[in-house]
Amino acid sequence: MNQKTLLTLGVATLAAVAATVALQAGRDHETRPGSTEARLLPALEQRVNDVREIRIVAPTGTATLRAVDAGWTLTEAAEYPANGEKVRGLLLDLRNARRLEAKTANPERHARLGLVDPTAEGASSVRVTLCDADGAPIETLLVGKQRTSRAEPAAAQMGVTPGAQYYALPGEGPQTFLASGNLGVDGRTLGWLDQEFINIDRSRIAAATITHPDGQRLTAVREDMDQGEMVVQDLPEGMVPKSPSGTAQLVGALQRVRFDDVRRADSLEWPAETLTTAMFTTEGGLQVSVDTVQVPASEGSDETVTWARLAFAVQPETAGAAGEDATEEGDADSPPSDDLPSRDALQAEVAALEAATAGWAYAVPAWKESSFRLRMEAVTEPAPQPEPDPEPQLEVQPDPGSAPTPDTAPAPIPLEQAPPDSSGGL
């Protein structure tokens, strides 16, 4: 087979692929009986801005989103602020979804399309109800299985990504549709929140002090800001830092921390006899206080959850960068470094952090809790014991009355040999 033949076959194959994609696209968008090309949820075209509540029911949980003056909140998380951008994206996706083709209206066949009650065993569907300010439904939608278009394999060869298609049941009637649009609704309750609640870059942390309810205090200072670990202060007698010391977790304790759950802080008890407080200080003077308590994960459970609440302040000007009093003359009056934030900038940062976290308690992931509850014994070890000096070797003196030993016997006296007779006789 020559090169010209191969080229001809290649062109023909490409044309066939293009024709397949075009044909399938035409089938997906053509107007036929039952295929309206209308909006999947017609009322949203005019009333999308009237939606003040979104109720989502999925096998993985429920989410009730409410519109407030400041944005959206999640009822299941004590009205914690929701991810407003994600909520607006959902509303626009629902408004723009289209009916491609009418499917079955027989409820007995709905299960084949995944259109079953989301709370049923083995279900994978999601139900969305959109309500107005009075709680009256504007639109409802049950989203079932995602359909894989027959054009996808051919389209992939041409670098084309077909639009998503889902089986959907709008309203309360039995008529189902094949719909186009981004209808992959997140059914996770916490999926509607921004779970990152604090992010202080590790490069800023200069010191940390953790105070435990039994009185133990661990203080660590970053003597070199380019180093990834801190130097443990006030070591107990007979103890030395481990190598590595394990203080790197303090350096990164506040960087991109996400919660596993969130509650109102006043819904928990914070007794002093069980409270651990971690104080972090940045090189510029921002102070972050993290109180933590451990409570049972559920009633009667042996497992515990670590809850944290935060507070913020700007370090007093008379204190050193690591939280200690300035000892050198002029330290308090030294101008700030060009690389460090001004006090006005720090005050603005404190205000923003307080606005985001005040009044809330966060369930800290198990792998992260030691960053706020680290103990001295976790970063120190007994100092190595010095090896004992070798015992001196005593020289043993021989007994004058005893027989000489090989080591003490006198050296033999060499014999003198007589010179030969000069007469030549024997």
Say how far apart CA 409 and CA 56 lie, in whole Å. 106
Q: What is the pLDDT of residue 22?
A: 45
pLDDT of residue 26: 43
Give which of 219, 193, 243, 235 is closest to 82, Cα–Cα. 193
Indicate the residue among 343, 367, 382 that finishes a domain.
Answer: 382
Q: Are residues 185 and 213 in the same domain?
A: no
**How big is the CA angle at 91 (ends 85 and 95), to the nearest 5 degrees?**
140
Q: Is residue 304 located within the same domain as residue 217?
A: yes
Q: Are 162 and 200 part of one and the same domain? A: no
Residue 315 is assigned to a structural domain of this protein: yes
What pLDDT, on a 0 to 100 scale, did the predictor assign at position 389?
76
Rounded average pLDDT per 10-residue block, the chain, 426 residues: 49 47 42 61 96 98 96 98 97 97 96 97 97 97 88 54 85 95 96 98 98 98 95 96 93 98 97 97 97 93 95 83 45 59 96 98 97 97 86 68 58 60 52
- 36 lies in the same domain as 115: yes
**Residue 150: HSE in the Cβ half-sphere, 13 Å Cα cutoff:** 9
Predicted local confidence at residue 249, as pLDDT: 97
Bridge partners (DSSP) of residue 58 are: 61
d(CA 276, CA 228) in angstroms, rounded, equals 24
pLDDT of 369 reads 96
What span, in angstroms and rounded, lies between the C-alpha atoms of 9 and 5?
6
Residue 267 in tokens: 């819904």
Question: Is the same domain home to 231 and 182?
Answer: no
- Select from 195, 192, 165, 160 the least CA-distant residue to 89: 192
Angstrom distance (rounded) from CA 254 to CA 36: 53
For residue 2 the two structure tokens come to: 């020559």
Q: Which long-range contacts (CB under 8 A, 24 or more apart) does 337-343 make?
A: 340/283, 340/284, 340/285, 341/284, 341/286, 343/285, 343/314, 343/317
**What is the pLDDT at residue 339?**
81
CA distances from 272 to 276, 279, 305 (A): 8, 16, 17
If asked whether residues 45 and 156 sit together in one domain, one would say yes
- Cβ count within 10 A of residue 55: 18
Number of structural domains in the chain? 2
> Beta strands 217-221 and 360-364: pairing type?
unpaired
Residue 12 lies in a domain: no
Query: Is residue 108 situated within a structural domain?
Result: yes
Point out the domain boundary residue: 344, 364, 382. Answer: 382
Residue that the structure tokens 């409802």 belong to: 140
Domain of residue 245 covers 196-382
Residue bearing tokens 């205090």? 217
Count Cα atoms within 13 angstroms, Cβ side, for 231. 10
Question: Of 111, 104, 100, whose CA–CA distance to 40 is shortest?
Answer: 100
Using DSSP's 3-state secondary structure scheme, residue 102 falls into: strand
pLDDT for 154 equals: 54
Q: Residues in the chain, how many? A: 426
pLDDT at 251: 97
C-alpha–C-alpha distance, residues 410 and 71, integer Å: 109
Domain co-membership, 338 together with 209: yes
| CA–CA gap between residue 274 and residue 234 (Å, rounded) | 23
Query: Alpha-carbon distance 144 to 128, whole Å?
Result: 12
**What type of residue sits at position 343?**
R
Cβ neighbours of 388 (radius 10 Å): 6
Q: What is the DSSP letter of 409?
A: S
Cβ 106 vs Cβ 174: under 8 Å: yes
| Euclidean distance between CA atoms 185 and 192, whole angstroms | 10
In this structure, are 338 and 290 located in the same domain?
Answer: yes
- 413, part of any domain: no
Nearest CA-CA partner of 203 in 224, 172, 178, 174: 224
User: Any idea what DSSP says for residue 389?
Assistant: P
Q: Are residues 224 and 349 in the same domain?
A: yes
Inside any domain, residue 95: yes
Beta strand 239-241 pairing with 196-198: unpaired
Region for 28 from its dihedrals, namely left if φ exceeds 0, alpha if ψ lies in -120 to 50, beta otherwise: alpha
139 and 273 belong to one structural domain: no
Do 183 and 289 belong together in one domain?
no
163 and 304 inside one domain: no
Helices (H) and strands (E) in the chain, counts: 8, 21
